[in-house]
Amino acid sequence: MDNSEIVDILELTGRLLELHDADAFRVRAYQTAAFNLDKTTEHLAQLSAADLIKLPGVGKMVAGKIREIVETGRLQDLDELLARTPEGVLEMFRIKGLGVKKIKTIWQEVGIDNPRDLKIACENGQIAQIKGFGEKMQEKILQSLEFMQSQSGKVRMDRAEALANVLRDELLKRFARVEISGQVRRQAQEVDTLQLLIETPDPVAAQRDLAELSFLTQNEALSSPFAWRGELQGSDVLVELLLYPKNQIDQRLFIHTATESHLVQPGSSGQTLLQVALTQPVATEEEIYSRAGLPYIVPEMRENARAFDWAARHSNDELVTWEDLRGILHNHSTWSDGKHTVEQMALHCRELGFDYFGIADHSQTANYAKGLDENRVRQQQEEIDRLNAQFSPSFRIFKGTESDILSDGSLDFDEETLASFDYVVASVHQNLNMSLEKATTRLLRAIENPHTTILGHPTGRLLLAREGYPIDHRAIIDACAEHQVVIEINASPYRLDIDWRWIDYAMERGVMLSINPDAHEMAGLLDMRYGLAVGRKGGLTKNMTFNTLSLGEMETYLQDRKRKLSKEV
C-alpha cells in the first residue's frame, strides 16, 4: 500500500468523523496527520508505530491506525463510519465549495442524501432558503453538480493510460496481439472509453475467454458477437474490446484511432481516409494517407480536420519530442509545498538527462502552500548558488518563483525581489470565481508586468474536478505575443492547461510554449510526458517550445530579458 492510499483513508476518516459529530480532538488528529503525511517522503508502510510517531502530525493513536491499514488493508473506524453514511452523501464530498459542515446541514437538517435530490432542491430554490447558504451558494452548488454530471464515467489521461496498459498486458496472456486504440492512443486529456483491439480467428472462443476474466464485468446489452463492452474492476469507465482477424487489425487500428471528422477528410485521390482504409489492403497507416493523397498525421492529432491545415504549414519531423526537451521549469521543493529538497529535485532532473532545472516555489501570499517571503527567498537563492557551484558548468538550477497573480493582476513580490529571480512564473491560485472580463483583465495586467516570464496554467482548471475560469484566449495570447511572455502547458495530468486547441494559434502569434510539470516531488518530473503528448496533439513544434533551448541558450535568453528590464527601469 502506497502513501497516497494511506493518506486518503486517513483524510476520509477525518471527514466522516466530523460529519458524524465525533470528538473534535479525534477529528483533528486524523486531519492533521493526513495533511502532514501527504508531504512526507518516508515510505509509511515500512515504518513501525514507534517510527511513525516521530513524523510531524502523527500521534500514538494515528500511528496505530496506520499500522492497522498496512497490516489488514482496511481501517475498522472507517468501515463503521461508511456503514452509517449513505453512498449519496459520500458522493456529495466531490462537490466543489461544499465542506463537511454544509453537507451535514443538507443531510441531517434538510434530509437530502444524494446529489440528484440536491440538484432538484437547488433548481426549485430550496437550498437558498437554508440559513448560511443563500442564492449565490445555491448557484455555485448547481454549477458544480452540472459539471460533475458532465464528467461522469470519465478518467484523466494518466489514469486511462495506466488502466489500458494493465488491461493490454493481461489480455496478452490469452491473445497473440492486443492494441490500445481510440481516445487513449490519441492521447485525449479525458477518456470515457478504454478501447483495445484483439486479434482472434475465433470471436466466439474469444468471448468465452473474456467471460472467464474476473476483473471484467460485461454489459451484455452494449455488447455484440464482435465487441465485448463492460467495465474493468475498480473503474466505471467503459471498456470496449473489439475482435478482429489478423488481416483486418491494422486497418481497424487506424480507423478506431481517428475521429469521424478526421476520417471523412477527402484527399486528392477523390476518396476519404475511411474509404481508402475500408476498400484497399494496406501495410501501414502511412500508406492509407498516401493513397488518399493526404499528408500523414500522427495519432495524437487525429481529432479533426484542422490537423490537415497544420500539415499544410508544417512537417511531422517539426513536432517536439522527448529528446528535444533540454530542461524542466516550474517545480516545487520543501521550501514551499514540495516533498523533496531543491538538491534532490535537481539531481533527479539531471539523472533523467536534462541540462537545467528551474525551481518555482510559491510566493508569500500562498499561505496554504508555505509560500516564501522575501527573507526565505534570499535563503533559498543562497542555497541554489552553493548547489550551482557544484553542478557547474554542465548543469544549472535557475532561480524562479511561482508568483501568485493577485486579484488586481499585480504580482506577489516587490520590484526588488522580483528582479532577483532568473524567471517568474505568474499564476492564479485564489479568487477563482471570476467573470470572463475580470479574469481576462487580471491576466492581462500580469502579462504586462515586465517581470513575468511565463504565464502559468492560464485557466486554473482541474480536469474532471473544476472548470477553469473563463478567459478570452485570443486576447491573452495576443498580449503574450506583444510582451514576449511564454505560455505554460502545465503537464500535470490534473491540469494540462493551456488547452491543446489553442497551441496552434499561440504559435501563429509567435508565442513560445513551455512544457512544465509543476512537479512537487521527484516522480512528478515525469509528468512532462503528458504535457508533451498534448503539446504534440496541438501541433507544438520544437522551435516554439521554450524548454528545448539548450542550457547556454536559456542562460542567454534570461540574461537578455533581465538586461532589457534593468534598462527600462
Does 357 share its domain with 469?
yes
SS (H, E, C) 403-435: EEECCCCCECCCHHHHHCCCEEEEECCCCCCCC
Residue 148's domain is classified under what CATH number?
1.10.150.20
Does some domain include residue 407?
Answer: yes
Residue 468's domain is classified under what CATH number?
3.20.20.140
Q: In Å, what is the CA distance from 489 to each residue of 455, 492, 493?
A: 9, 9, 11
**pLDDT tens-digit profile of 242-256?**
999 999 999 999 999
Share of the chain above pLDDT 70, in %: 100
Does 92 share its domain with 33?
no
Does 332 share its domain with 465?
yes
Q: 85, 109, 140: which is the final residue of a domain? A: 85
Residue 297 DSSP symbol: -
What's the pLDDT score for residue 150? 80
Does some domain include residue 414?
Answer: yes
Does 482 share its domain with 382?
yes
Cell 426549485 sits on residue: 124
Does 352 share its domain with 271?
no
- Sorting pLDDT into bands at 50, 70 and 90, what band is 149? confident
**pLDDT tens-digit profile of 272-304?**
999 999 987 888 899 999 999 999 999 999 999
How far apart CA 436 and CA 565 sit, in angstroms, is 30
**Mean model confidence pLDDT for the chain:** 94
CB 568, CB 450: distance < 8 Å: yes
* Residue 278 CB neighbours (<10 A): 13
Does 242 share its domain with 351?
no
Nearest to 332 by CA among 380, 277, 393: 380
Q: 36, 57, 85: which is the final residue of a domain? A: 85
Q: 65, 85, 105: which is the final residue of a domain? A: 85
* pLDDT (mean) for 154-162: 94
What's the pLDDT score for residue 282? 81
Does some domain include residue 168?
Answer: no
**pLDDT tens-digit profile of 498-534?**
999 999 999 999 999 999 999 999 999 999 999 999 9
**pLDDT tens-digit profile of 546-569?**
999 999 999 999 999 999 887 775
Does 352 share its domain with 274?
no
**pLDDT tens-digit profile of 188-216?**
999 999 999 999 999 999 999 999 999 99
**pLDDT tens-digit profile of 436-491?**
999 999 999 999 999 999 999 999 999 988 889 999 999 999 999 999 999 999 99
Alpha-carbon torsion angle 387, 391, 396, 401, nearest 10: -10
* pLDDT (mean) for 308-319: 96
Does 81 share its domain with 110?
no
What's the pLDDT score for residue 569? 58
- Sorting pLDDT into bands at 50, 70 and 90, what band is 1? confident
Nearest to 180 by CA among 163, 171, 172, 168: 168
Instruction: Provide the residue range defining the domain that includes 92.
Output: 87-152
CB 518, CB 491: distance < 8 Å: yes
Does some domain include residue 459?
Answer: yes
* pLDDT (mean) for 357-367: 96
What's the pLDDT score for residue 146? 87
How far apart CA 430 and CA 403 sit, in angstroms, is 12
**pLDDT tens-digit profile of 380-428?**
999 999 999 999 999 999 999 999 999 999 999 999 999 999 999 999 9
Q: H or E segment at 454?
A: strand 454-455
DSSP structure string for 33-84: HHHHHTT--S-GGG--HHHHHTSTT--HHHHHHHHHHHHHSS-HHHHHHHHT
Does some domain include residue 479?
Answer: yes
**pLDDT tens-digit profile of 98-128?**
899 999 999 998 999 999 899 999 998 999 9
How far apart CA 337 and CA 366 sit, in angstroms, is 10
What's the pLDDT score for residue 347? 98
Q: H or E segment at 195?
A: strand 193-199
Does 497 share its domain with 394?
yes
Does some domain include residue 165?
Answer: no
Number of folded domains that form the chain:
4
Does 337 share its domain with 461?
yes
Residue 271's domain is classified under what CATH number?
3.30.460.10
Does some domain include residue 515?
Answer: yes
Helix axis angle for 76-83 and 3-19, nearest 10°, is: 50
Does 423 share its domain with 508?
yes
Residue 23's domain is classified under what CATH number?
1.10.150.110
Does 264 share its domain with 365?
no
Does some domain include residue 557?
Answer: yes
